[in-house]
Amino acid sequence: MTLSSTSKTLEQTLEAIQAMDLTLIKFKATRDEDGYGWSPAYADELELAYKRYLILHAKYPDLMLAPERDVDRFWHMHILDTRKYAADCEAAFGRFLHHFPYLGLRGEDDAKALDDAFETMQQLHLKEFGEPMGQPREAAAACGAQVASAWCGVEPSVQAQAAWCGVEPQQKAHAAWCGVEPSKQQARAAWCGVEPQQAKAAWCGVEPSTKS
């Protein structure tokens, strides 16, 4: 699908991005039933990060950029409102801004391309906005396990200095999940994993500023 292309100056594009009304996108993202269960404050934070991604895309259209995972999820929510997304793209870019959801999934070279795109975006974010891209404070961290599934999180009574974790001993899945309790602490990310030789042992911790 391609909308009629309308020439836009960079200034017009940036103004249109800033003017996007994403209220309903944020509303759905906060829902547990059919959204991501984000808090309103976190949805606001992701709105800013998403608009910054669009700004970078507008300023550097020939570069491959990869946003953080939850920024990408916010983008997905925007796309799902098909009429609004199409209208917002036309207003900002004069064309339909397509989303390619397979980057990083097609082998080692593709995974490296995704890492490079993320690194490029980090550098441009620092250059354009004067601060590192960082990790929104409620985002869960990606992690993996070699033997069994594991879970970890941050104790709400401590401030990102300790975490609890464990392994589901009966699970045979090779993937693990972990994250940070979104409303009880200040850490930005958590990581966890399973010791490959001991199915009942796991390690986890908090890294305040790393990406997922």
> Which residues are CB-contacts of 96 (< 8 A; sequence separation ≥ 6)?
1, 2, 3, 86, 89, 90
Q: Which has more confidence, 31 or 210?
A: 31
Which amino acid does the sequence have at 157? S
Three-state DSSP at 90 gives helix
Bridge partners of 192?
204
* pLDDT value, residue 159: 40
> Which residues are CB-contacts of 191 (< 8 A; sequence separation ≥ 6)?
141, 143, 152, 178, 204, 205, 206, 207, 210
Residue 56 has pLDDT above 60, yes or no: yes
In this structure, what DSSP letter does residue 168 have?
Answer: -
Mean pLDDT score of the chain: 73
91-103: pLDDT as tens digits: 999 999 999 888 8
Average pLDDT over residues 54-66: 94
Residue tagged 């997905």 (tokens)? 76
The tokens describing 85, both together, are 């997304």
Q: Which has more confidence, 67 or 160?
A: 67
Residue 189 has pLDDT above 90, yes or no: no
124-152: pLDDT as tens digits: 999 999 988 865 444 433 333 332 333 33
Q: What is the rounded distance in angstroms from the CA atom of residue 99 to the CA atom of residue 67? A: 12
| % of the chain residues with pLDDT over 90 | 53
Residue 34 has pLDDT above 60, yes or no: yes
Average pLDDT over residues 36-49: 96
The tokens describing 33, both together, are 């039933």
Considering the entire predicted model, what is its pTM? Answer: 0.63
